[in-house]
Amino acid sequence: MSPAATAAQWGAVWILLLGAFMGFLDIFIVNVANPSIQAALNAGFAEIQMVTAGYTLTYGVGLVAGGRLGDIFGRRRVFLIGVFAFAVASTACAAAPNAEFLIGARIVQGLAAAVMLPQVLALIQVTFHRDQERSRAIGLYGAVIGVGVVAGQIVGGLLIAWDFVGLGWRSIFLVNVPLCVMAFIGGLVLVRDGGEHTRMKLDLPGVVMLGPGLLGPVHSLVIGAEQGWSGLLVGEMAGGMVLLILFILWERRVAASGATPLLPPRLFNQRGFSLGLPTALFFYGTNGAFVFLLAFYLQQAEEFSPLASALTFTPMAILTSVFSVLCGKFVAHFGRWVVPGGAVAMALGLSLVWMGVELLDGTNPTVALMPGLVFYGAGGGIVATSLIGTALSGVASEDAGAASGGILTAVQVSEAVGVAGIGALFASLASGGGGAYGFAVSSVVLTVLSLLTAVLLNLLGRPRQPVSAAEPT
């Protein structure tokens, strides 16, 4: 029997999870602060969208390459480099004198996260010898994502409300620095890289095609929604799509030549990975758009303070954490239907949010929205805990970095696409019918996306049917 994990190995996992927590926290910690940033820096709505989407998109664009860098140079070493770069970029964000500088610093911060995060899942994959312990650790990773997504709202609101030494919104970036110090020291002391490293070359043409291929469509969507669709933006969108097609063709050619592609096509022959990608797109796209818009709706349409907005997220955050922990027990007792059921609960929650917005006249907004937020938080905790582990099941150790990067790319790109696409819908509707109307209609669209997530989770959770020999006729 394989040896059980030691206390030091579990300690290393918690250090790695701290790195993951920071990466996901910083996607959403700006949401509560966005209205304050917009006012302080005199920024437009498209610029504020890029403060969020610029981070998530460059984060997503760099994840596959970041995973491969870990496979080549050592995952522990690359993790530590990413943590250090993340601290530097966070400090630059806090010092931003204008919106353009902040967007640039957020892009660098996203690239640092892209170097750091794939190593977390890859190191977890190679740290444990027992499948049960590995599954538990990956489940904790999913829970950390869920908690980080919602906790970002709360931490951001509290930091702005407390306003340490007059820093205002800038403190939401500086909070990363002590966390990075803890992760860096803990990584040096506890984290060990037990995986095998092969001397391979980084697929630079693949990186060059994938990066602009993902960036072009999302950037054009954000800018075009507010400023109108110019010929340049249409060309940017079309060019990005062409580059993505060329990337797929190039990766097939690299694999056929015997070299190491950025994203091995053989990964798509694995059912978990091939179904996990679109499922992650729907789930995290919905989640990213919802928490982004909810913060704007509460602070602009309902005139909540950043702290009051953050406190409205608190029950949802608590339930996300609780149901992330309980998910394994629920699945063991009730079966695989629990996970798609979580997405159905999210859809129900979004429907109740829509009803709450429609019934807000004479009602406290927090009270009206709370039933929907409760269902949404509970369902989201279940899905986040299960999705990534299922998608990565069966991945070979030599592809752990690339597979982790591929799944996390889907997660981050979907966050950016959700913020950009649904944000554009919200902005268009709000300009004509007001913020409440825009948020209500957007909630209906997100409800449909959650139901599609449930369908994909049902397919992802189905056991493979054994192939039997043909019977003679």
* Average of per-residue pLDDT across 161-175: 84
Find out whether 322 and 134 touch, Cβ atoms under 8 Å.
no
Average pLDDT over residues 448-471: 71
CA distances from 359 to 335, 347, 433, 442 (A): 37, 18, 16, 16
Q: Which two tokens stand for residue 275?
A: 């179904």
pLDDT at residue 466 tops 50: no
- What mean pLDDT is reported for the chain? 82
Mean pLDDT score, 370-391: 86
* Burial group, residue 472, by CB count within 10 angstroms (0-12, 13-18, 19+): exposed
pLDDT at position 198, please? 57
Fill in the DSSP letter of residue 164.
G
Residue-wise DSSP of 322-367: HHHHHHHHHHHHH-TTHHHHHHHHHHHHHHHHHHHHHT-TTS-HHH
Q: What pLDDT is recorded for position 186?
A: 92
Q: Is the pLDDT of residue 472 over 50?
A: no
Residue 366: how many other CB atoms lie within 10 Å:
17
**Mean pLDDT, residues 353-380 taken together:** 85
Query: For position 378, what pLDDT does the model report?
Result: 92
For the chain, give the longest Cα–Cα distance: 83
Is 175 strand, coil or helix? Answer: coil
Instruction: Tell me the C-alpha distance between 222 and 21, whole Å.
Output: 26
- Inform me whether the pLDDT recorded for 195 exceeds 60: no
Q: pLDDT band for 463, please (50, 70, 90 cuts).
A: low
5-19, 224-238, 331-345: which range is least confident on average?
Answer: 224-238
Residue 470 pLDDT:
40
Contact 98, 44 (CB under 8 A): no
Residues for the chain: how many in total? 473
